[in-house]
Structure 1
């Protein structure tokens, strides 16, 4: 039960008081991510310089899980290289699919509390929206 409470506290905090939910005026990469099945819609804005995610933000509307997950993702990837950010996105998606090691899960820090989403198929798309959007944005930028 303690784990559930911890999960709820972190999810609620990131949903009600998202640190990274705002306009990023000097973003050089922007992409809209949409989950048509439930209406979640975010605009992910990143500032990438010399291969490093130096800042990031998101705007949009959606359920608590999509909003909290996007906020946690940005908290984790800001200050890291694009390669590290993509690696973390791969780990997050691996975690949601239920095939992650404890060591890999530790790399996800606070975002690892969303592991239980794997048991809620209807909410998986909510949790991965920001992560998929970031992957697409960073991989598109490489081309």
Structure 2
């Protein structure tokens, strides 16, 4: 019974982020921007990032997608704001590992991923991988100086 209650709590947190996303807006003057499309399910997201002195001082997203895509984007903004570029890139790699393996390495990264760690269950649904990673990949590509402004995942 306790495990079922925990799963229900995780589901509620994911639904809350999906229905009431944080940082779902446009930034006035972003320093970085990336639009990504997931043609598999039709999700489209634009992530805008404000970087000052190598630190993400603000981050936001707009677009449309399924609940998982929106929840993941919301969780991502909460996780990456106030991180340095290097820290953000490491957290993106950690999140990618989490949703492909279901495990976090190193274990202390669980705290750093905040609510995004609750998406570990996506490993059980490989078809939803692109939904979960879309916003994170947009930030990764958006912070790369060689990437174009619009890409397909």
Q: TM-score, normalised by structure 1?
A: 0.93
Q: Which has the higher contact order (CA 8 A, sep 6+)?
A: 2
Q: How many residues align?
A: 142
Which of 68, 72, 93 is 1:69 aligned to?
A: 72
Q: TM-score, normalised by structure 2?
A: 0.87
Are 2:12 and 1:9 equivalent residues in the alignment? yes
- State the Cα RMSD in Å: 1.5
What does residue 100 of structure 1 align with? 104
5+ residue gaps, structure 1: none
- The CA distance in 2 between the partners of 1:79 and 1:14, in whole Å, is 19
What is the CA distance between 1:83 and its match in structure 2?
Answer: 0.6
SS, match of residue 108 in structure 2: helix
Name the structure where helix makes up a greater proportion of residues.
1
Runs (4+) of structure 1 exceeding 6 A deviation are none
1:96 and 1:115 in contact (8 A); partners too:
yes
5+ residue gaps, structure 2: 148-153
